[in-house]
């Protein structure tokens, strides 16, 4: 393999690793923001914080207001949602009020429709921090994952064209896939280190499926690597057995004899 071709292969391999790594991150974010997964991770966090922040006497005030009403309506400024509580929920007490409220607030936040794109809402005039916990965010991450998946497939094709020894193709690709999965194991620790303590628990919601994604990618990489190594061994063994030792000796003698006549 020439120097230029080898350098180009190394560069393509590096780009392939990056595309796989970034794609894995977006896939993790997307799966972590599936509604059922998101709800199971966030509900205990919000319920705990709401329970700690509810002032004494608020439930009694709500129950008094429900004496002549069928529902209690209030507006939640922090999450920018209006919530209507059936009075039978209010009469059931604090725990039922919190459980019902959190479930409905999460659903409103997750499925809220925005007039801007995900990036536009984060950076533009229509800034809304809650969009990061929405289906809009989940769809954005899924789209980015598919984009980098296509890039990875193109780079895998280029790798095949650039590898002079085709038997090395699968081991190379398998090895890069395995390497791209390893950082996923440390995503939780990275979130804990990078985010302030107040946001740490909510930041971990985005990487709740990191272990699952890492296992899938590692398994895929190992399968490709093993297939490549087996294929390489079988091909090498086939070439090795193509000629017997006696045939090789005869070929060598014949070639030496031709050389001496010249």
Burial 93-126 (b: 16+ CB within 10 A, else e): eeeebbebbbeebbebbbebebebebeebbeeee
Phi, psi of 7 (to 5 degrees): -65, -40
Distance in Å from the first CA to the final CA of the chain: 33
pTM of this prediction?
A: 0.78
Q: What is the mean pLDDT of residues 9-18?
A: 94
pLDDT in tens, 96-139: 888 888 888 888 888 988 888 888 887 765 557 778 888 999 99
Q: Would you say residue 258 has pLDDT above 60?
A: no
Q: How far is CA 34 from CA 94, 99, 142, 189, in A?
A: 28, 20, 10, 22
Give the pLDDT confidence score for residue 77 in this predicted structure.
59
| Percentage of the chain modeled with pLDDT above 70 | 77
Higher pLDDT, 121 or 240: 121
pLDDT band, very low/low/confident/very high, at 260 (cuts 50, 70, 90): low
In sequence order, what are the beta bridge partners of 74? 83
Q: Which pLDDT score, from 0 to 100, does residue 187 have? A: 79
CB 141 within 8 A of CB 117: no
Domain ranges of the chain: 3-238
């Amino acid at each position: 393999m020439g120097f230029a071709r080898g350098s180009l292969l190394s560069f393509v391999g590096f780009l392939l690793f990056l595309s796989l790594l970034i794609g894995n991150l977006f896939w993790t974010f997307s799966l972590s923001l599936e509604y059922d997964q998101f709800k199971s991770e966030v509900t205990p966090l919000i319920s705990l914080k709401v329970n700690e922040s509810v002032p004494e006497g608020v439930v009694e005030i709500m129950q008094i207001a429900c004496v002549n009403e069928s529902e209690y309506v209030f507006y939640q400024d922090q999450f920018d949602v209006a919530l209507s509580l059936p009075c039978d929920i209010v009469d059931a007490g604090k725990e039922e009020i919190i459980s019902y409220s959190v479930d409905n607030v999460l659903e409103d936040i997750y499925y809220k429709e925005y007039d801007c794109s995900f990036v536009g809402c984060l950076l533009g005039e229509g800034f809304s921090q809650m969009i990061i916990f929405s289906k809009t965010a989940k769809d954005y991450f899924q789209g980015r994952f598919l984009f980098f998946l296509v890039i990875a497939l193109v780079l895998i094709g280029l790798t095949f064209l650039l590898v002079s020894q085709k038997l090395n193709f699968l081991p190379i690709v398998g090895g890069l896939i395995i390497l791209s999965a390893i950082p996923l194991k440390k995503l939780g620790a990275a979130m804990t280190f990078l985010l302030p303590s107040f946001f740490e628990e909510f930041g971990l919601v985005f990487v709740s499926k990191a272990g699952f994604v890492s296992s899938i990618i590692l398994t895929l990489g190992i399968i490709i690597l093993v297939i490549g190594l087996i294929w390489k061994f079988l091909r090498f063994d086939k070439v090795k057995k193509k000629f017997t030792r006696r045939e090789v000796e005869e070929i060598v003698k014949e070639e030496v004899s031709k050389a001496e006549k010249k």
